[in-house]
Structure 1
């Protein structure tokens, strides 16, 4: 089976709930968020008017730290030493500037921003999220199976007592042993009668078992027992309460989400090429990330670096300029900065998200810093993003370094990426949060202020149907 025709044993459909008017408490939180934001802006403006020279010097020092730090990272020998000394001196000057200025004002500004952010989260809740299509209520699994990777996530399977918890839920646990073939275990479990199968492990293992579930047409349960659990995050699961995900084998909510392919390999999150994918290939990276990165970057980004032989068409269909980072994701990530690849507002849009970043040595650093600081990395001139159902990357290299759902691989080009819309039936607990952070949070200060004003006025922060609530929960 290809997983496209499976019919869940639904006990009834969950209908989109009407967005309720915000409570008095949430309206008070919205007022607090807006007032704190206004005070923070006022404090920043007053500080600039009082001492514009100090602010200008601070900006210059931050720029020097960034550019000198970049130069130190991508060079070796004397240039690295000189740049590191310059970066250290500028950083020391920045610290002195802050300490000899008005630390109370700086602390007050930081405090007001934190208060505004916390109050905004309370005021908005999950009301910015819209209902995923096709969500339905389903009954308990007749023969649920959960495969567990005892080594994943630093031993979360044992730490959270997942094997005993699964048995208590009537779920058959299968604990991976050294030398086991994960795909074979999943196939055998389904052949033996499993009508719901799950995986407790990292995203790479989740993708493999999800592929088996998709091909065999049965529902899948994600148990976040890995290190980062990005897939679980975007499914709206509580990653801090690992055992709670087991409730998806009982009375649960089911919906269809997309999978993505690179060649014939399924991935649930993303595949990265370029700088990051090459750095993580080093055997020393896992134990010494910073040292390994510092050792490898000069060969990748230094003045004599050959660059990456990655050829692909841009959004206009024409051959694109070479990039230092290429990210191909299963649906679109909200990427406000480069300090992490964020979350996805949707996992069912039926598209690949493509992001490329090119940094033209140190001269791009000021613009990159400004884009990062403002949370608008898309304004950086070396940043491009678009969506497509299929994507191809070619290269003259025999093998291309690729990081797929956190796993370091080397694959032969050309690399063919493809979206599989609605391929996977996923079950989640009825009381799970059910919302990815990217779906619940407004993007940018403007939309955030608009949403808070709506709440303050007694209206929902967003229009459209809310996240569905199963009939049994209403």
Structure 2
């Protein structure tokens, strides 16, 4: 590959194209508003159609596969609406032509600006050679017995994968280390997210690929990797017909986790043995002690995003890559796990009135509007306390001695996915109006910034 074709700082023509893509849309909107200011119903409809059409066009030129098809369909429907409204409202034909030209210019310029950046993403997840000695570790109790339900040992034998069943009393980490010592050149885990983290840590330390087989109860990691959580057997295809990419791992006091760690309210709740099987009942019995008038605020001291010290928080959520959160429960999904950043969310509820307000916003999916809600990203985050801290890590209850130190391990894990996997998290698959990711990419090109690491799942779009 020639030097000028390698992903790096944008060329002048790409920067000019990015500026054109970003500037042409406001130009089209201005032309539209000037021509339709006396017809407000038509104005609202045409503005909406123009925004959706251009945004869908940006997605269509910067993505592939199903996402490109969906964006193309959205662009066609928006154009049809724009034309229909223009004719019904007797819109000026020359002005309408100018709007269409500016919209097309914005879409075409976006393609020029993002072409190399898209190529650098695609290059990050290439087909991987079939491993010679693949091993799959299995927890037969995970997910209510999915290993037996889907006959995974038999399916492994058909594919030439060595199956190792975790027996009662055995240490999963030791089994993984033993498999690597015996020559495994790819290792997978059929189990929940806590088990995935253990095996992923071993795989990362030895530099071999890891395969996620979703036999856990919730399988949040598989969800954010774009795996079909119901296609357990299909996940095995990653060993024989897979693509490889790198994702980050995160640590809490040196222990690897793949999803998130919760302190405060949720950290206390998961300590209850009844929580996993009866979340609502356990929460109802525990919350009065944690949020009632006589409750003592958690001793959780940290530095906020503005550099100011904080002495408490009702909830602290630290994740391996930032989550998109509209509600606190379930922890949302992540657009990417290769940003080299932790996602940090803190929630502080000080009294009953604030609890009611937060509950209302939570029900409406608007938690970000709560004054005590803060979220940011960091490479490192530390929480101090006067005593041991209850923590929920990937759904498992732990008690850790302070300080609690979180860190990111950028690109630490070689990950294999089946070629047929969607490869996109729900957050990444969602097409948002004026998508922050596309706008941010265009702005980065215009400012001359090098292509950063995108969510490699985009290679399979």
Same fold (TM > 0.5)? yes
1:54-133 alignment to 2 at 5 Å?
131=121
Q: Which of residues 208, 228, 246 in structure 2 aligns to 1:256?
A: 246
Partner of 1:320: 310
Query: How far apart, in 2, do the equivalents of 1:374 and 1:24 lie?
Result: 27
Query: How far apart, in 1, do the equivalents of 2:213 and 2:124 lie?
Result: 22
Deviation at 1:145, TM superposition (A): 0.1
Partner of 2:391: 402
Q: Does 1:160 align with 2:150?
A: yes
**Counterpart secondary structure, 1:347:** coil
Q: Which of residues 412, 417, 431 in structure 1 aligns to 2:406?
A: 417
**Counterpart secondary structure, 2:458:** coil
Partner of 2:5: none
Q: Does 1:432 align with 2:403?
A: no
2:270–2:395: 8 Å Cα contact kept in structure 1?
A: no
Deviation at 1:313, TM superposition (A): 0.7
Flag the 1:209–1:25 CA change in 2: closer, same or farther, 3 A.
closer
Deviation per CA, 1:187-236: give whole Å up to 9, x if none: 11111111000000000000000000011111110101101111111111
Flag the 1:205–1:133 CA change in 2: closer, same or farther, 3 A.
farther
Flag the 1:282–1:234 CA change in 2: closer, same or farther, 3 A.
same
Q: Does 1:197 align with 2:187?
A: yes
Normalising by the residue count of structure 2, what TM-score does the alignment of the two structures yield?
0.70
Deviation per CA, 1:370-403: give whole Å up to 9, x if none: 5335533212111000111001111001x11000
2:124–2:456: 8 Å Cα contact kept in structure 1?
A: no
Query: How far apart, in 1, do the equivalents of 2:321 and 2:172 lie?
Result: 26
Query: How far apart, in 1, do the equivalents of 2:413 and 2:70 lie?
Result: 40
Partner of 2:459: 468
2:245–2:456: 8 Å Cα contact kept in structure 1?
A: no
1:143-292 alignment to 2 at 5 Å?
143-292=133-282
1:19–1:466: 8 Å Cα contact kept in structure 2?
A: no
Q: Does 1:353 align with 2:350?
A: no
Flag the 1:420–1:159 CA change in 2: closer, same or farther, 3 A.
same
Partner of 1:38: none
Deviation per CA, 1:158-199: give whole Å up to 9, x if none: 111111111111000000001111111111111111100000
Deviation per CA, 1:286-341: give whole Å up to 9, x if none: 34333322222111110000110111111122212521000010010011112321
In structure 2, list runs of 5 or more residues that go unmatched: 1-60, 82-117, 440-454
2:138–2:164: 8 Å Cα contact kept in structure 1?
A: yes
2:189–2:195: 8 Å Cα contact kept in structure 1?
A: yes
Query: How far apart, in 2, do the equivalents of 1:223 and 1:435 lie?
Result: 16
Partner of 2:73: 27
1:133–1:255: 8 Å Cα contact kept in structure 2?
A: no
1:153–1:226: 8 Å Cα contact kept in structure 2?
A: yes
Aligned residues: CA RMSD: 3.1
**Counterpart secondary structure, 1:234:** helix
Deviation at 1:25, TM superposition (A): 11
**Counterpart secondary structure, 1:333:** coil
Deviation per CA, 1:57-85: give whole Å up to 9, x if none: xxxxxxxxxxxxxxxxxxxxxxxxxxxxx
Partner of 1:43: none
- Figure out how many residues of one structure are paired with residues of the other and give that number: 348
In structure 1, list runs of 5 or more residues that go unmatched: 1-15, 36-129, 452-463
